[in-house]
C-alpha cells in the first residue's frame, strides 16, 4: 500500500511504528560474517559496562579514580551497553567545540568492563580477545592484570588473555581508552567503536592473521595458489604439525559451495613456544576470477593436525585476480583497463557516528556503486574489516591507507606522538589483516604528511609494505607532488599519489625517475555544496552557513567535478581519481571551518598563507555552527546532492541519465533569471519551460560535462529536458513547481532486515504536495515514535549546521527530506503503522509482513 495516497496535515506529526520481525534476504549481517580466522571465534560485543571520566559531554571534568581495572570495583553506576559504541555521538553539539571534529564532545577517558566465563573444559586452550578498533590509546586488563596496549585507534589488534584467565570462574576484562591524548582533523569517534571477538584455539594453532594467500600466476585455464601458514606452538615441547589446505568456492552469504582444490600438505616441526611457517602450492583449474562485476571469491580452509588429530581449522577468504599498473595504459584488472572512479571516505556513518554497522556501510556502498564508483580510498586510516568484506563481495577496489601523519604531526597529539614506537607495528598489522582481501589493490602509507619529502622515511615505510606484501604497489598521497618528486622521496613508491595537482603531470612524464611511474589522483575536486540550496549572487551564504548546489563552489586547492573530468581527459594514461568525498562526514566543515587546520591546506604554497590566515580570523569572529562537511557527493543523511548525477553520467555513460537543477519553486523570482543546469550521460539536450523550447545545447566530449541554460527567466510551471545521445532520444527529466506541502511520503532502503538488534533500516521521509512532488522549501518538524520491538536509533536530515542531537526522535526536514534509522529488535512482531493525529495509516499488514514500507521508486532513482 502506498502511503502517499493518504493525506494528512503537516501540522500533525507523522508517527511511525515499526514492530519488526523481518526475514533475512540479501547478504549477511555481522553474525554470519566469515571472520578470517580460527573457527571458534565468538562475538564479544554484548553486555559491557561503561563509565566516562576526564572531559564530560557538558564540558565539565570528572576525575578518573585509580585502579578501575580492579576486580573488586563497585560498578553500580556504570552504564550497560553493547558494542560497537561511540561515546561521543550522542553529543550534545557544543558551539565552542571545534568544527573540524564535529563540535561533538569526543575527548575523554572511557572505561569498559566485561564479566565473562570461559568453561573449565577450555582450560587446555589459548584464549584471545580481538579488537577490530578502539579509539584511542587502548590499555587492556584482565582480572586486574595489565595485558597490553594498542594506541592507534583505527587498527585491529589481538590480546592474549590466557596467562591471566581463570577457567570455569568469572573473569573481568577492563579496557581503558583515552581520547584526551589523541587529536584529529575530522571526527574520530571515541570508544570501542568496532567489533570485539573472543577467540579460542588449541595450543597448536594458526597464528594471528597467520595466513597469506597469493595467486602468482593466473591464466584463463589455471591459477597457481600459494598459501603461507604460520603455526604457533604454545606448548613447552616440540611438536610436529601437519598443515593441509583445501580450497572452496564461497557465495555472497559466505557459504562454502563447491570444493575447488587441495594443497599438498606439509609438516612443520615447531619448537616449544615457537612459530613456523608452511608454504604450500596448488593449481586451481578454470579459476572464477574476482572482478568488479562478478566478484567471485574462494576460501582457503587450513587444517592443522597434531598426532593425527585436527587441532585448528582456519578460513581465509580470497579472490583470484591480476592487477597491473602501467605508466601508459593505466590500471589493468585481469588484463583489462579499469579507470579508477573512486571516492575518498572517512570512517563515520553520519548520525551513527563512528560505531560500525554493516547495514549502514552497505547502504553507503550500494549508493556509490549505483553512481558508478568502483573504488574506495580509506582516507586516512585503516578501515573496519567489514568495509573490506563488503568491497570484496560487491566488487570495489580499495586503496587501503595507513596514516594522516608520520613523524611531524598536523596536530600536536596526532600519530606523530607514537610514530617512532608504533609505525612498523601498525603497518604490519594493517597488511597482515588486509592482504588476503582481493579488493585491496594499493597500499597508501600516508596522506599529505608534512614530512612527505623525507626520502629515508618514505623508503623505510614503503620497504615495510613491500616486505609484508610484495604483490601490491605502495603509494603516498602528496599535496606537494612537485616537492616529492624533486626531493626524490617518491622514488621509493610504486605509484605516485597526487592530491589536487594532477595537471602538473606532463612535467614529470619526461623525468626518467618518474616516466615509468604510474600516477593516481589520490584526491580530487573537494567541491562543496548543501543539498537543495541554490544561491544566485554569492555561492556562500554566511547567514545560513549553507553553500549553493550549482556545484561550482570549492576551496582554493579544489575544483568542480567538470574541471576535474576535463583534466582527467587530458591524461587518459593515468590511473583515475578519488573524489573528496563520497559522503559528507562529521567534522571539517570547510569553508566554514574556523579551526587552525584550515591553514594546513596550501602549506606547500606560502603565498596563500596570508589569505588563509585572514579568512580564518574572520571565521573565528563569526563562529559558524557548521559541524559536518560539505564535501560529500551525498549528504550526511545519505541523500544524493545534484553532483551525484554528474558523476553517474560520467562514470556510467551507458545508463540513460538526465538530471535538472535547481528545483522550480521560485515564487520570489518570477521574471528573474534562474540558471538551469542538466547533468546527462547523453551529449545534447533540449530544455522546455511550460512546453516552450528554450533551445538545444550540445556538449563537446572531453570539454563539457553539463548542459547549461544560464538565462532562463523564471515562470512557475514545468521544466523538462529531453536529452539525446548520438542523435537518438536518450533520457528525460522533469521538475515542476509544486503545490503546498500536504503529505509525508516514506520510502526505505530495503524491505527486509534481520530482527537481531543490529541490522538497520533507513527510512526516508519526503515532504510532498498532493501530487507526491517533493517540496524542498518547506521543512516541517517530523516526530517519530515506535511501538513494539523496534527502536529508533537516529534521525538526520543532512543539514551541516543542525545542533539537534542525532538521537532525537523529532527533527525538521531539511530541503524536504528527513531520515529515520530503525533497528529491529530480537523476536519482534510484524505490524507496521504510520499514523498522524488526524488519521491512522497502516502501511504493513499481516499479509504483507515483510514489506515495511512501499519501496516506491522516486525521482532520485
Ligand atoms: C585534503 C586533505 C583531506 C581534506 C581535504 C579537504 O588536503 O587530504 O583530508 O582535508 O583536503 O579539501
Q: Is the CB of 447 under 6 A from ligand 1?
A: yes
CA distances from 229 to 264, 272, 335, 436 (A): 13, 18, 29, 12
Catalytic residue among 276, 448, 533, 588: 448
| Interval 236-274: pLDDT, tens | 999 999 999 999 999 999 999 999 999 888 999 999 999
Kindly state if the Cβ of 479 falls inside 6 Å of ligand 1. yes
Note if 276 is an active site residue.
no
The atom number, within ligand 1, closest to the CA of 448 reads: 8
Using CA atoms, how far residue 90 sits from 59, 637, 847, in Å, is 14, 16, 38
Ligand 1: residue of 184, 346, 580 to mutate (most ligand atoms within 8 A of CB) is 580
844 in the same domain as 700: no
Which tens digit of pLDDT belongs to each residue from 646-682? Answer: 999 999 999 999 999 999 999 999 999 999 999 999 9
Q: How close is the Cα of 757 to the center of ligand 1, in Å?
A: 36
* Contact predicate 153/134, CB 8 Å: yes
For residue 412, tell me if it sits in a domain.
yes
6 or 622: which carries more pLDDT confidence?
A: 622
Ligand 1 near 480 CB (within 6 A): no
Q: Is the pLDDT of residue 572 over 90?
A: no
Give the gyration radius of the chain's Cα atoms. 27
From the list 755, 751, 744, 691, the residue with the least C-alpha distance to 722 is 691
End-to-end CA distance of the chain: 19
What is the average per-residue pLDDT within 147-175?
A: 98
β-pair partners for 829: none
Given a cut of 80, is residue 4 above it in pLDDT?
no
pLDDT band for position 595 (cuts 50, 70, 90): confident
Among 811, 735, 809, which residue's Cα sits nearest to residue 775?
735
Burial class (CB in 10 A: 0-12, 13-18, 19+), 131: buried
The CATH number of whichever domain residue 281 belongs to comes to 2.60.40.10
Question: Ligand 1 center to residue 301 CA distance, Å?
Answer: 41
Element housing 486 (H / E): helix 481-487
pLDDT at position 32 is 40
Cβ of 202 closer than 6 Å to ligand 1, yes or no, is no
Say what the pLDDT of residue 244 is.
96
The answer on 210 and 251 residing in a single domain is yes
Mean pLDDT (whole number) for 463-471 = 98
pLDDT of residue 405: 98
Please list the alpha-helical segments (H only) found in 115-255.
none
Boundary of a domain, candidates 318, 348, 365: 318
Residues 562 and 687 in one domain: no
Kindly state if the Cβ of 478 falls inside 6 Å of ligand 1: no
Domain assignment present for 79? yes
In this structure, the answer to whether residues 723 and 761 fall within a common structural domain is no
Condensed to tens digits (0 to 9), the pLDDT of residues 700-744 reads: 999 999 999 999 999 999 999 999 999 999 999 999 999 999 888
Nearest atom, ligand 1, residue 380 CA: 9
| Residues 702 and 795 occupy one common structural domain | no
Instruction: State the cell numbers at 157.
Output: 589488534
Spatial separation of the C-alpha atoms in residues 833 and 845, rounded to whole Å: 9
Cell numbers 597434531 correspond to: 306
Q: What tens digit of pLDDT does each residue of 269-295 get?
A: 999 999 999 999 999 999 999 999 999
Q: What is the pLDDT of residues 306-322, one digit of tens each?
A: 999 999 999 999 999 99
Task: Please report the pLDDT score of residue 279 as a whole number.
Answer: 96
Q: For ligand 1, atom 4, name the residue with the nearest CA.
A: 580
Q: Establish whether residue 601 lines the binding site of ligand 1, counting it when its CB lies within 6 angstroms of any ligand atom.
A: yes
Mean pLDDT of 174-197: 98
HEC-encoded secondary structure of 398-429? EEEECCCCCCCCCCCCCHHHCHHHHHHHHHHH
Domain match, 393 and 489 both: yes
Considering 704, 736, 768, which residue would you say is the last residue of a domain? 736
Does pLDDT of 493 surpass 50?
yes
Predicted confidence at residue 28, as pLDDT, reads: 39
Task: List 565's β-bridge partners, or say none.
Answer: none
Phi and psi based region of residue 277 (left: phi greater than 0; alpha: psi -120 to 50; beta: remaining) = beta
Residue 452 CB less than 6 A away from ligand 1: no
Q: 581: Cβ below 6 Å to ligand 1?
A: no
Task: Flag whether pLDDT at 17 surpasses 60.
Answer: no
Work out whether strand 440-447 and strand 239-250 pair parallel, antiparallel, or are unpaired: unpaired
**What integer best gives the mean pLDDT of the chain?**
90
Per the structure block, which three cell numbers stand in for 705?
560535462
For residue 360, give the 3-state DSSP assignment: helix
User: Do 189 and 350 touch, CB atoms closer than 8 A?
Assistant: no
Q: List the beta bridge partners of residue 150.
A: 138
Among 787, 727, 790, smallest CA distance to 758 is for 790
> Does 80 fall in a domain?
yes
Q: Is residue 223 part of a domain?
A: yes
CA–centroid distance, 184 to ligand 1, in Å, is: 12
Residues with Cβ < 8 Å from 614, sequence gap 6 or more? none
- What pLDDT score was predicted for residue 3? 29
Q: Look at ligand 1, atom 6, and give the residue with the nearest C-alpha.
A: 526
Cα 601 to ligand 1 centre (Å): 7
**Which residues are CB-contacts of 633 (< 8 A; sequence separation ≥ 6)?**
343, 371, 579, 581, 582, 583, 640, 641, 643, 644, 647
Domain range enclosing 772: 3-26+740-859
Q: How many domains does the chain have?
A: 5
Ligand 1 contact via 526 beta carbon (within 6 Å) = yes
Residues 6+ apart with CB under 8 A from 505: 498, 519, 571, 574
pLDDT band at 858, cuts 50/70/90?
very low
Q: State residue 602's pLDDT score.
A: 60
597 CA: nearest ligand 1 atom: 10
Pairing label, strands 15-18, 37-38: unpaired
Indicate if the pLDDT at residue 130 is higher than 90.
yes
Using a 6 Å cutoff on CB, does residue 580 contact ligand 1? Answer: yes
Whether residues 414 and 488 share a domain: the answer is: yes
Express as a percent the part of the chain with pLDDT over 70. 91
Contact 461, 445 (CB under 8 A): yes
- With respect to residue 634, please indicate whether it lies within any of the assigned structural domains: no
Q: Which of 207-211, 589-593, 830-834 has the lowest mean pLDDT?
A: 830-834
- Give the residue whose CA is nearest to atom 1 of ligand 1: 601
To test the pocket of ligand 1, the residue of 502, 547, 588, 602 to mutate (highest count of ligand atoms within 8 Å of its CB) is: 588
DSSP character string of 760-790 = EEEEEEEEE-TT--B-TT---EEE----SSE
Q: Three cell numbers at 510?
A: 619526461
Quick one: 294 and 341 in the same domain?
A: no
The pLDDT-based confidence of 505 (bands split at 50, 70, 90) is: confident
- Mutate-to-test residue for ligand 1 from 450, 501, 601, 603, highest number of ligand atoms within 8 A of CB: 601
Higher local confidence (pLDDT), 681 or 557: 681
> What phi and psi, each to the nearest 5 degrees, are found at residue 175?
-130, 125
Ligand 1 close to Cβ of residue 499 (< 6 A): yes
Report CA(255)–ligand 1 centroid distance (Å).
40
Last residue of a domain, one of 139, 163, 178: 178
Ligand 1 centroid to 603 CA: how many Å?
A: 12
Domain assignment present for residue 100? The answer is no
Q: Which residues of 442-474 are buried (b: 16+ CB within 10 A; e: fewer)?
A: bbbbbbbbbbbbbeebbebbbebbbebbeebbb
272 and 387, same domain (yes or no)? no
pTM comes to 0.93
- Does the Cβ of 254 fall within 6 Å of ligand 1? no
Of 774, 668, 772, 783, residue with least CA distance to 714: 668
- Burial track 482-509 (b if 16+ CB lie within 10 A, e otherwise): eebbeeebbebbbbbbbbbbbbebeebe
Same domain, 63 and 18: no
Q: What is the Å distance from ligand 1's center to 695 Cα?
A: 40
User: CA-to-CA distance for 292 and 330, rounded, in angstroms?
Assistant: 16
| pLDDT given for residue 425 in this prediction | 98
Smallest CA separation from ligand 1 atom 12, residue: 526
Per-residue model confidence as pLDDT tens digits over 596-650 = 777 776 655 677 778 778 888 888 888 999 999 999 999 999 999 999 999 999 9
At 273, give phi and psi (nearest 5°): 55, 30
Query: Does 790 score more than 90 pLDDT?
Result: no
Q: What is the CATH number of the domain that holds 370?
A: 3.20.20.80
Structural domain contains residue 596: no
Catalytic residue check, 69? no
> Does pLDDT of 154 surpass 60?
yes
How confident is the model at residue 24, as a pLDDT? 32
**Residue nearest to ligand 1 atom 7, measured at CA:** 601
What number of residues does the chain have? 861
Residues 243, 117, single domain; the answer is no
What percent of the chain is predicted at pLDDT more than 90? 79
Check 180, 523, 533, 577 and give the catalytic one.
523
User: Which of 523, 583, 589 for a ligand 1 pocket mutation test, highest count of atoms within 8 Å of Cβ?
Assistant: 523
Q: What is the pLDDT of residue 604?
A: 59
List, in order, residues 6 or more apart from 11 with CB less than 8 Å away.
Answer: none
Residue 744 belongs to a domain: yes
CA 697 to ligand 1 centroid distance, Å: 35
Atom of ligand 1 nearest to the CA of 555: 12
CB of 155 within 6 A of ligand 1: the answer is no
> Is 837's pLDDT higher than 70?
no
Q: Is the CB of 590 under 6 A from ligand 1?
A: yes
Is the domain of 166 the same as that of 227?
no
Q: Are 367 and 415 in contact (CB under 8 A)?
A: no
Cα of 450 vs centre of ligand 1, distance in Å, is: 13
Best of 526, 559, 586 to mutate for ligand 1, by most ligand atoms within 8 A of CB? 526
- 3-state DSSP call for residue 826? coil
Is residue 838 scored above 90 in pLDDT?
Answer: no
- State if residue 626 touches ligand 1 by the CB under 6 angstroms criterion: no
- In the reported structure, the alpha carbon of residue 632 is separated from the centroid of ligand 1 by a whole-number distance in angstroms of 12
Amino acid at each position: 500500500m502506498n502511503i502517499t495516497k493518504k493525506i494528512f496535515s503537516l501540522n500533525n506529526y507523522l508517527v511511525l511504528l515499526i514492530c519488526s520481525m523481518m526475514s533475512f534476504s540479501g547478504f549477511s549481517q555481522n553474525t554470519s560474517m566469515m571472520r578470517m580466522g580460527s573457527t571458534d571465534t565468538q562475538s564479544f560485543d554484548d553486555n559491557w559496562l561503561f563509565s566516562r571520566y576526564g572531559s564530560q559531554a557538558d564540558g565539565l571534568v570528572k576525575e578518573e579514580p585509580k585502579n578501575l581495572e580492579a576486580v573488586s570495583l563497585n560498578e553500580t553506576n556504570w552504564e550497560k551497553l553493547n558494542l560497537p559504541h561511540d561515546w561521543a555521538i550522542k553529543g550534545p553539539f557544543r558551539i565552542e567545540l571545534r568544527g573540524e571534529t564535529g563540535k561533538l564532545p569526543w575527548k575523554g577517558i572511557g572505561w569498559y568492563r566485561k564479566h565473562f566465563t570461559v568453561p573449565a573444559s577450555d582450560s587446555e586452550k589459548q584464549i584471545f580477545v580481538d579488537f577490530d578498533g578502539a579509539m584511542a590509546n587502548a590499555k587492556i586488563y584482565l582480572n586486574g592484570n595489565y595485558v597490553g596496549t594498542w594506541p592507534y585507534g583505527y587498527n585491529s589488534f589481538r590480546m592474549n588473555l590466557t596467562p591471566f584467565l581463570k577457567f570455569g570462574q568469572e573473569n573481568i576484562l577492563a579496557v581503558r581508552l583515552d581520547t584526551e591524548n589523541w587529536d584529529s582533523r575530522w571526527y574520530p569517534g571515541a570508544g570501542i567503536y568496532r567489533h570485539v571477538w573472543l577467540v579460542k584455539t588449541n595450543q597448536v594453532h594458526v597464528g594471528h592473521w597467520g595466513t597469506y594467500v597469493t595467486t602468482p600466476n593466473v591464466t584463463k585455464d589455471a591459477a597457481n595458489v600459494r598459501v603461507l601458514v604460520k603455526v604457533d606452538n604454545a606448548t613447552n615441547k616440540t611438536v610436529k604439525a601437519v598443515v593441509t589446505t583445501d580450497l572452496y568456492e564461497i557465495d555472497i552469504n559466505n557459504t562454502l559451495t563447491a570444493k575447488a582444490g587441495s594443497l599438498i600438505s606439509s609438516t612443520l616441526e615447531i619448537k616449544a613456544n615457537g612459530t613456523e611457517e608452511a608454504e604450500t602450492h596448488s593449481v586451481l583449474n578454470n579459476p572464477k576470477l574476482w572482478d568488479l562485476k562478478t566478484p567471485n571469491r574462494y576460501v582457503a580452509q587450513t587444517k592443522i593436525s597434531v598426532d593425527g588429530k585436527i587441532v585448528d581449522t582456519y578460513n581465509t577468504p580470497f579472490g583470484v585476480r591480476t592487477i597491473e599498473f602501467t605508466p601508459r595504459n593505466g590500471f589493468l584488472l585481469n588484463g583489462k583497463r579499469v579507470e579508477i572512479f573512486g571516492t575518498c571516505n572517512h570512517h563515520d556513518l553520519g548520525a551513527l557516528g563512528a560505531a560500525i554497522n554493516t547495514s549502514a556501510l552497505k547502504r553507503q556502498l550500494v549508493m556509490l556503486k549505483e553512481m558508478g564508483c568502483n573504488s574506495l580510498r580509506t582516507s586516512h586510516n585503516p578501515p573496519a574489516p567489514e568495509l573490506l568484506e563488503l568491497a570484496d563481495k560487491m566488487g570495489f577496489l580499495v586503496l587501503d591507507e595507513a596514516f594522516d601523519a608520520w613523524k611531524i604531526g598536523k596536530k600536536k597529539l596526532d600519530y606523530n606522538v607514537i610514530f617512532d614506537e608504533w609505525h612498523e607495528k601498525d603497518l604490519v598489522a594493517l597488511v597482515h589483516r588486509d592482504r588476503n582481501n582481493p579488493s585491496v589493490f594499493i597500499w597508501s602509507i600516508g596522506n599529505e604528511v608534512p614530512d612527505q619529502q623525507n626520502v629515508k622515511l618514505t623508503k623505510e615505510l614503503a620497504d615495510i609494505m613491500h616486505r609484508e606484501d610484495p604483490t601490491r604497489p605502495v603509494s603516498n598521497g602528496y599535496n606537494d607532488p612537485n616537492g616529492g618528486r624533486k626531493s626524490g622521496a617518491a622514488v621509493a613508491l610504486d605509484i605516485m599519489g597526487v592530491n589536487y595537482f594532477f595537471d602538473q603531470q606532463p612535467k614529470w612524464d619526461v623525468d626518467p625517475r618518474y616516466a615509468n611511474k604510474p600516477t593516481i589522483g589520490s584526491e580530487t575536486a573537494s567541491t562543496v555544496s548543501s543539498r537543495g540550496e541554490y544561491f544566485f549572487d554569492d555561492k556562500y551564504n554566511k547567514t545560513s552557513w549553507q553553500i549553493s548546489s550549482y556545484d561550482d563552489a570549492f576551496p582554493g586547492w579544489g575544483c568542480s567535478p567538470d574541471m576535474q573530468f576535463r583534466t582527467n581527459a587530458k591524461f587518459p594514461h593515468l590511473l583515475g581519481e578519488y573524489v573528496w568525498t563520497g559522503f559528507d562526514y562529521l567534522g571539517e566543515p570547510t569553508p566554514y571551518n574556523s579551526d587552525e587546520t584550515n591553514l594546513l591546506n596550501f602549506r606547500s604554497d606560502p603565498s596563500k598563507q596570508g589569505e588563509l590566515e585572514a579568512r580564518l580570523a574572520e571565521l573565528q569572529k563569526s563562529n559558524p555552527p557548521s559541524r559536518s562537511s560539505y564535501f560529500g557527493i551525498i549528504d550526511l543523511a545519505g541523500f544524493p546532492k545534484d553532483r551525484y548525477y554528474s558523476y553517474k553520467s560520467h562514470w556510467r555513460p551507458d545508463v540513460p541519465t538526465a538530471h535538472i537543477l535547481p528545483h522550480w519553486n521560485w515564487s520570489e523570482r518570477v521574471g528573474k533569471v534562474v540558471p538551469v543546469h542538466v547533468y546527462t550521460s547523453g551529449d545534447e539536450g533540449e530544455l522546455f519551460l511550460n512546453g516552450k523550447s528554450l533551445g538545444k545545447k550540445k556538449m563537446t566530449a572531453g570539454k563539457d560535462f553539463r548542459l547549461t541554460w544560464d538565462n532562463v527567466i523564471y515562470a512557475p510551471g514545468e521544466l523538462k529536458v529531453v536529452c539525446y545521445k548520438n542523435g537518438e532520444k536518450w533520457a528525460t527529466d522533469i521538475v515542476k513547481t509544486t503545490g503546498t506541502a500536504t503529505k509525508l511520503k516514506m520510502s526505505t532502503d530495503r524491505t527486509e532486515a534481520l530482527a537481531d538488534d543490529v541490522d538497520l533500516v533507513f527510512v526516508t521521509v519526503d515532504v510532498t504536495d498532493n501530487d507526491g512532488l517533493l517540496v524542498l522549501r518547506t521543512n516541517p518538524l517530523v516526530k517519530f515514535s515506535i511501538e513494539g520491538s523496534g527502536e529508533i536509533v537516529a534521525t538526520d536530515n543532512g543539514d551541516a549546521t543542525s545542533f539537534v542531537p542525532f538521537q532525537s526522535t523529532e527533527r525538521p526536514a531539511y530541503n524536504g527530506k528527513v531520515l529515520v534509522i530503525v533497528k529491529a529488535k530480537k523476536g519482534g512482531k510484524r505490524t507496521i503503522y504510520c499514523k498522524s493525529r488526524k488519521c491512522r495509516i497502516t502501511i504493513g499488514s499481516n499479509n504483507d509482513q515483510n514489506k515495511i514500507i512501499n519501496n516506491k521508486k522516486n525521482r532520485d532513482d
